[in-house]
């Protein structure tokens, strides 16, 4: 980048030049950089720092480069170090002299911070849209299987019957919080650093609020040193991405387990399953395993970013260049994982007979029998003890809980009546959980409707 080296008497060593260049990662930032420069040029014109005719040339030139970028014709050259100098060079080729005024009252330090903020904002929009699409898909599958009952689990042991839809909606809630996290991160991302210069601000009469407004950033930096060194928004994006990846991984793991022969709750179509090079019968749900695996690489990007930041002394440091790859990689990986999850779930069948059979294990209704006794006035702890004894008796005598006679039951508690046998019904068990947020059909139907209203 000889253009900036007039004070130097030697060329930059070739290996060093390649090493310090950020053009590879900057490919992702070209459009953001051009948007930022267009806003900056408009501000320079507005503030009388460039003439209207220079502004016109700069604007037309930048717009031409934007077109070239969109059609893949604008290639970054490592010799120009980064996207910023590549744009300036190309602009000079197109419009000549006027290009030399674009960088007035600006440094690459505030410029790159702005580019990254614009890029993160765009990625937040992409991720939030995909999160919504995934939620919609989950609600759709929940509605299609609204009467399906399955075992709810704690410790991966059968606990109490729940609606299959209720289980899917639990993931919808987690993805809702993820969306909120991205939207809250967006508030702190939409703060324009432009006008901070290299770190001190400028003696020229700039108007940072004007640029911020053009870029639809509601806020402007308060401190020029902070403006060029703050990458908190990247950390927040990566944390939100990591937690979303965690939820995706939990969803993937859950579906993988449910699709095993041992559970047999769901099946995936051939369009999303792979097979073995050795065992021709194998049908593996590899895409979900990779979604689960990708969480690791997204966490890695968060850690990489935090470690890059932690040792930095106050001010702009070139290490900050390394804050770009984590967000570029993680956002792409996350978007891919979300898309894959949507496709896989679209190719999923629920085997209601299997989930019902598993949910109909009479021991899963033990808590319903406890609550039956509580309704008759038995203190909860006593009722719990009574059921423990009934279960022990049934197990020791090799009798299913539901096959004990009323007479046998009465030996443990006189409060048991004929109507107790109606409790061995998984669907009824789920339906009776009418308490706030419980798994009753009424609650789940309301929840599905409310999610649909919010998502559409």
Nearer to ligand ARG, 220 or 320 (CB): 320
Q: With contacts defined by CB under 6 A, name the span among 45-53, 124-132, 318-326, 434-442 that binds ligand ARG.
A: 318-326
Is position 22 an interface residue for ligand ARG (rule: CB under 6 A)? yes
Q: How far is the CB of 23 from ligand ARG (least distance, A)?
A: 9
**How many whole angstroms separate alpha carbon 455 and alpha carbon 391?**
45
Q: With contacts defined by CB under 6 A, name the span among 163-171, 232-240, 317-325, 437-445 that binds ligand ARG.
A: 317-325
Is position 199 an interface residue for ligand ARG (rule: CB under 6 A)? no
Tokens 């993680």 identify what position?
330
Is position 181 an interface residue for ligand ARG (rule: CB under 6 A)? no
Q: With contacts defined by CB under 6 A, name the span among 108-116, 152-160, 258-266, 402-410 that binds ligand ARG.
A: 108-116
Backbone angles phi, psi at 280, to 5 degrees: -65, -20
Nearer to ligand ARG, 121 or 169 (CB): 121
Nearer to ligand ARG, 23 or 131 (CB): 23
**How many whole angstroms separate alpha carbon 112 and alpha carbon 82?**
10
Q: Count the residues of the shown chain that bind ligand ARG, applying the rule CB under 6 A.
A: 9
Q: How far is the CB of 104 from ligand ARG (least distance, A)?
A: 17
Is position 320 an interface residue for ligand ARG (rule: CB under 6 A)? yes
Check the CA dihedral 70-116-292-129 and report its sign.
negative
Is position 196 an interface residue for ligand ARG (rule: CB under 6 A)? no
From 108, 166, 294, 329, residue interacting with ligand ARG (rule: CB under 6 A): 108
Is position 117 an interface residue for ligand ARG (rule: CB under 6 A)? no
Maximum CA extent, the chain: 103
Is position 230 an interface residue for ligand ARG (rule: CB under 6 A)? no
Check the CA dihedral 235-239-245-246 and report its sign.
positive
Q: How far is the CB of 105 from ligand ARG (least distance, A)?
A: 15
**How many whole angstroms separate alpha carbon 94 and alpha carbon 121?**
30
Nearer to ligand ARG, 86 or 160 (CB): 86
Which long-range CB contacts under 8 A does 99-103 form with residues at least 24 apart? 99/58, 99/61, 101/44, 101/49, 101/50, 101/54, 101/58, 102/37, 102/40, 102/41, 102/44, 102/58
Is position 82 an interface residue for ligand ARG (rule: CB under 6 A)? yes
Is position 109 an interface residue for ligand ARG (rule: CB under 6 A)? yes
Token representation of residue 326: 């984590």
Q: Residue 413: how many CB atoms within 10 A of its CB?
A: 20
CB burial of 136-146 (b: ≥16 within 10 Å; e: otherwise) equals bbbbebbbebe
Q: How far is the CB of 223 from ligand ARG (least distance, A)?
A: 18
Is position 390 an interface residue for ligand ARG (rule: CB under 6 A)? no
Question: DSSP letters along 128-176, please?
Answer: HHHHHHHHHHHHHHHHHTTT-EEEEEETTEEEEEEEHHHHHHHHHHHHH
CB 379 within 8 A of CB 387: no
Q: How far is the CB of 24 from ligand ARG (least distance, A)?
A: 11
Our answer to whether residue 155 is catalytic in this structure is yes
Q: How far is the CB of 311 from ligand ARG (least distance, A)?
A: 17
Is position 321 an interface residue for ligand ARG (rule: CB under 6 A)? yes
* Residue of 276, 388, 405, 450 marked catalytic: 276
* Residue of 71, 155, 203, 436 marked catalytic: 155
CB burial of 99-126 (b: ≥16 within 10 Å; e: otherwise) equals bebbbbbbbbbbbbbbbbbbbbbebbee
Our answer to whether residue 337 is catalytic in this structure is no
**How many whole angstroms separate alpha carbon 190 and alpha carbon 186?**
6
Q: What residues line the site for ligand ARG (CB under 6 A)?
A: 22, 82, 108-109, 112, 316, 318, 320-321
| Catalytic (active-site) positions | 155, 276
């Amino acid at each position: 980048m000889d253009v900036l080296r007039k004070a130097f008497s030697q060329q930059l060593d070739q290996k060093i030049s390649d090493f310090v260049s950020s053009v590879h990662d900057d490919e992702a930032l070209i459009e953001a950089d051009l948007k930022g420069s267009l806003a900056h040029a408009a501000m320079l014109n507005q503030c009388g720092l460039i003439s209207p005719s220079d502004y016109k040339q700069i604007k037309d030139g930048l717009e031409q480069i934007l077109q070239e970028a969109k059609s893949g014709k604008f290639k970054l050259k490592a010799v120009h170090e980064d996207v910023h100098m590549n744009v300036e060079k190309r602009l000079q080729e197109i419009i000549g002299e006027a290009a030399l005024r674009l960088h007035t009252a600006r440094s690459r330090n505030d410029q790159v911070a702005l580019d990254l903020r614009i890029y993160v904002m765009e990625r937040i929009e992409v991720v939030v849209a995909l999160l919504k699409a995934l939620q919609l898909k989950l609600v759709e599958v929940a509605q299609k299987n609204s009467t399906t009952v399955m075992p709810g689990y704690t410790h991966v042991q059968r606990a109490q019957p729940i609606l299959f839809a209720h289980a899917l909606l639990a993931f919808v809630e987690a993805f809702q919080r993820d969306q909120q996290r991205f939207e809250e991160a967006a508030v702190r991302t939409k703060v324009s650093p432009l006008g901070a210069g290299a770190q001190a601000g400028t003696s020229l009469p700039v108007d940072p609020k004007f640029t911020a407004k053009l870029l639809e950033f509601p806020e402007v930096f308060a401190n020029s040193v902070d403006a060029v060194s703050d990458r908190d928004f990247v950390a927040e994006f990566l944390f939100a991405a990591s937690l979303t990846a965690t939820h995706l991984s939990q969803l993937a793991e859950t579906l993988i387990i449910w699709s095993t022969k041992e559970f047999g709750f769901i099946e995936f179509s051939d369009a999303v399953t792979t097979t073995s090079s050795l065992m021709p019968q194998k049908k593996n749900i590899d895409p979900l395993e990779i979604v689960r695996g990708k969480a690791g690489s997204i966490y890695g990007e968060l850690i990489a970013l935090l470690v890059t930041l932690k040792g930095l002394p106050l001010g702009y440091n070139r290490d900050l260049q390394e804050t770009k790859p984590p967000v570029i990689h993680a956002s792409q990986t996350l978007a891919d994982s979300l898309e894959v999850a949507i496709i896989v779930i679209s190719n999923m069948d629920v085997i209601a007979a299997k989930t019902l059979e598993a949910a109909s294990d009479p021991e899963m209704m033990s808590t319903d029998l406890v609550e039956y006794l509580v309704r008759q006035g038995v203190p909860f702890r006593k009722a719990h003890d009574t059921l423990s004894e009934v279960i022990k008796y049934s197990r020791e005598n090799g009798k299913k809980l539901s096959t004990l006679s009323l007479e046998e039951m009465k030996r443990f508690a006189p409060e048991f009546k004929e109507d107790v046998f109606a409790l061995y019904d998984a669907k009824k068990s789920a339906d009776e959980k009418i308490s706030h947020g419980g798994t009753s059909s009424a609650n789940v139907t309301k929840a599905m409707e409310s999610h649909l209203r919010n998502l559409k």
